[in-house]
Amino acid sequence: MRALSRGIQPIYAPILHPKHTTRIPIASRLPRSAWTRSFHASASLRTMDLAFDLHDNAGQAKGAPILILHGLFGSKKNNRSISKALARDLSRPIYAVDLRNHGDSGHDREHNYTVLAEDTEAFLKKHNLKDATLIGHSMGAKTVMTMALRDPSCCANIIAVDNAPVDAALASDFPRYVEGMRKVEDAKVKSQKDADQILEPYAKELPVRQFLLTNLIRTSPSDPLKFRIPVRILAHSLDDMADFPSKDPDQTRFNKRALFLRGTKSHYVSDETIPILGRFFPKFELMDIEAGHWIISENPEAFRKAVVEFLKEDE
């Protein structure tokens, strides 16, 4: 199943039935529909405005919008370069969004995929973004999957990067990262160098530490550095980040195109999860990228080519 490395090929979506297993080819495309979602009553009380950067190739990108959502501990800044490249290649405006409790967006004690989806649905409505492509990495991937299954009319298609619609424990790295960041905050450090030294036992790889430390800010010259993300809130939300809110693919299904990209060195989308992909997303396509979990930063060119090829098939 890890042979799809030369371009994007449709694969067979296993649909599992109680008494037997049938393999059916991915069906022909459905036409795009206008976004006509009727919001859940609960959404209006707890949605948060999301900060974003718009990349539109100096106003030249006029096509249907694309949203790109970062992963846990990330921000819209992580996707700046790839957003600019995709806006140029596809002539479509790219909205790089900060999810709640990340980047420049607000903080709230509730952090799970339902509220992340509601925030992003409200963002689409506020900015009148229709026929959008939703791209998400890791936490962002589960967010766009949640949105697609809650209301398929909210988007034209999705691209989920290195995550699957299953309940699965996060890699043990993430609790260690949180522990290290809390140690940095408790030490009230004055420099990035000091923060890096404290964090090193908890995040051995320099690129990972550099990624985590992009969240450090100084509110005034005399103040110690602190994380702009609410580390303690996110620490208590790790179990929710391992969860997936949709449990029954017989009740919720997304019958539009969905691309799943997985890292060849990552465990987040195992072969065992592929039947689940097929049940929730019958028209899914799968492609392997030579990378670990951080596909967009580790292999941006392969990611860019995969996204462009997938989306140009709809033109």
User: Distance from CA of residue 45 to its chain's centroid?
Assistant: 24
Round to whole Å and give the CA distance between 140 and 119.
12
The full set of domain ranges for the chain reads 13-167+244-312, 173-238
CATH number of 13-167+244-312: 3.40.50.1820
* Pairing state between β 94-97 and 52-55: antiparallel
Per-residue pLDDT of the chain (315 residues; tens, 9 = 90+): 333 433 334 333 333 322 222 222 333 333 333 333 333 334 446 899 999 999 999 999 999 999 999 999 999 999 999 999 999 999 999 999 999 999 999 999 999 999 999 999 999 999 999 999 999 999 999 999 999 999 999 999 999 999 999 998 666 688 999 999 999 999 999 999 999 999 999 999 998 999 999 999 988 888 999 999 999 999 999 999 999 999 999 899 999 999 999 999 999 999 999 999 999 999 999 999 999 999 999 999 999 999 999 999 876
Provide CB contacts within 8 A for 68, sequence distance 6+.
79, 82, 83, 86, 94, 95, 96, 97, 135, 136, 140
* Pairing state between β 94-97 and 66-69: parallel
Instruction: Label residues 256-268 b or e (16+ Cβ within 10 Å = b).
Output: bbbbbbbbeebeb
Residues designated as active site = 138, 293
Round to whole Å and give the CA distance between 261 and 297.
14
- In terms of Cβ atoms closer than 10 Å to its own Cβ (0-12, 13-18, 19+), residue 126 is exposed
Q: Are 161 and 141 in contact (CB under 8 A)?
A: yes
